[in-house]
Amino acid sequence: MRTRLYKDGAVVKKGFPIADVSDYICDDDCVVWFDLCSPTPEELGVISEELGLHELAVEDVLNDHQRPKLDVYDTHLFITVYGIYLDEAGDLDPVEMNVFVTKNALVTVRENDRFDIDEVVARWDASTQTARHGVAFLLHGLLDYVVDGQFELVQTLDGQVEELEDALFGGDGGSTREVQRRTFRLRKNMVRFRKVTLPMREVVSTLVRRDTQVVNAEMGPYYQDVYDHVLRVTDWVDSLRELISNLRETHLAQQGFRLNEIMKRLTGWAAIIAVPTAITGFYGQNVPYPGEGQPWGFWMSSVTVAGASVALYTIFKKKDWL
């Protein structure tokens, strides 16, 4: 676990035990942050005792896969957000982050170490001009990192959709199985992504309204900027979901079109083959024909078969059936 003590916007102490938190939060000039990664129920019990957290909020931390939300309790806020990443197979890998927010304490509880808390700390250290705003400053840095990560990921997914378009409208329309696999994966990622990003609008908008008394007037524009980014991400996700659905329908239409082209060509060749087959088959049933038993009769029938076949081929080729 990691701990920090801020006073007047400056870090005055690091790495102290959680048991000392209650001593620092009594001072209104002090702001405490500490981070836990995959904590045990016993560790959460210590946090709850130090900060007086509601039992339902602690229970939500222990139950994974919570919906992104903001719960308001008498003494603190409880926020659930997700850092979004892509695993090696290209599937969406959300990492749950739970946050307890009190008047002068911020507690981050990560599902696993995939969530890069060091990057959040680096953002805090780079924004010393707003550090004097305490908990509002720390929470903004965390939410800004989460939303920026979602924004970067939706850009990556947009690039994958463009690659899928290029494969779909390429020379041969791309491999049918490969296009179907990529379309399905993108669609599945978008569905999961939307479940994570859409509720973020409610989370950030609740903070922007300042009903929670966490965001003051000076920090309001910073939270409004985060909210604008959330709206851009959700709108982008919705447009990509619609585009992927259109690409899927287009791919199915292309398959039907190619099948019609194949059937048209097969029908043309069948018609060409049917003419000589009909001629030779008819006269092969011991039916007399002109020139029977004569050399000129053989050549006349051969020329008729060849001429009819060439004529049909020319007609079908002109109509683009072959």
Query: Among candidates 58, 299, 99, 89, which has minimal Cα distance to 214?
Result: 99
pTM score: 0.76
Statement: residue 75 has pLDDT above 80:
yes
Instruction: Give me the pLDDT at residue 107, please.
Output: 92
Lowest-pLDDT range of 16-20, 169-173, 178-182, 201-205: 169-173
Q: Return the higher-pLDDT residue of 78 and 278.
A: 78
Residue type present at position 123 = R
Q: Write the secondary structure of 171-203 as one string of H (helix), E (strand) and C (coil).
A: CCCCCHHHHHHHHHHHHHHHHHHHHHHCCHHHH
| Residue from 316, 203, 210 nearest 265 by CA | 316
Distance between CA atoms of residues 5 and 106, nearest Å: 10
Per-residue DSSP letter, 116: -
Sorted by where each begins, the domain ranges of the chain are 2-255, 262-318
Q: Which tens digits make up the pLDDT trace of 222-246?
A: 999 999 999 999 999 888 888 888 7
> What is the C-alpha to C-alpha distance for residues 168 and 175, in angstroms, rounded to an integer?
8
Look at residue 172 and tell me whether its pLDDT is greater than 60. Answer: no
The amino acid that residue 133 corresponds to is H
Among the listed ranges 72-81, 199-208, 278-287, 293-302, which one has the minimum average pLDDT value?
278-287
**Per-residue pLDDT band at 174 (split at 50, 70, 90):** low
- Lowest-confidence pick of 61-70, 175-184, 287-296: 287-296
Q: Is domain 2-255 classified as CATH 3.30.460.20?
A: yes
pLDDT value of position 97? 93
Percent of the chain whose pLDDT exceeds 90: 20
Nearest CA among 245, 19, 212 for reference residue 101: 212
Q: Is 173 left (phi over 0), alpha (psi -120 to 50) or beta?
A: left
pLDDT of residue 291: 63
Lowest mean pLDDT among 33-47, 153-167, 209-223, 259-273: 259-273
Name residue 2's beta-bridge partners.
35
Identify the pLDDT of residue 286. Answer: 55
CB under 8 Å to 212, separation ≥6 — which residues? 70, 72, 77, 206
**Which has more confidence, 218 or 286?**
218
Rounded Cα distance between 99 and 142, Å, is 10
Output the pLDDT for position 252.
72
Q: What is the pLDDT of residues 109-163, one digit of tens each?
A: 998 888 989 999 999 988 888 888 889 999 999 999 999 999 999 998 888 888 8
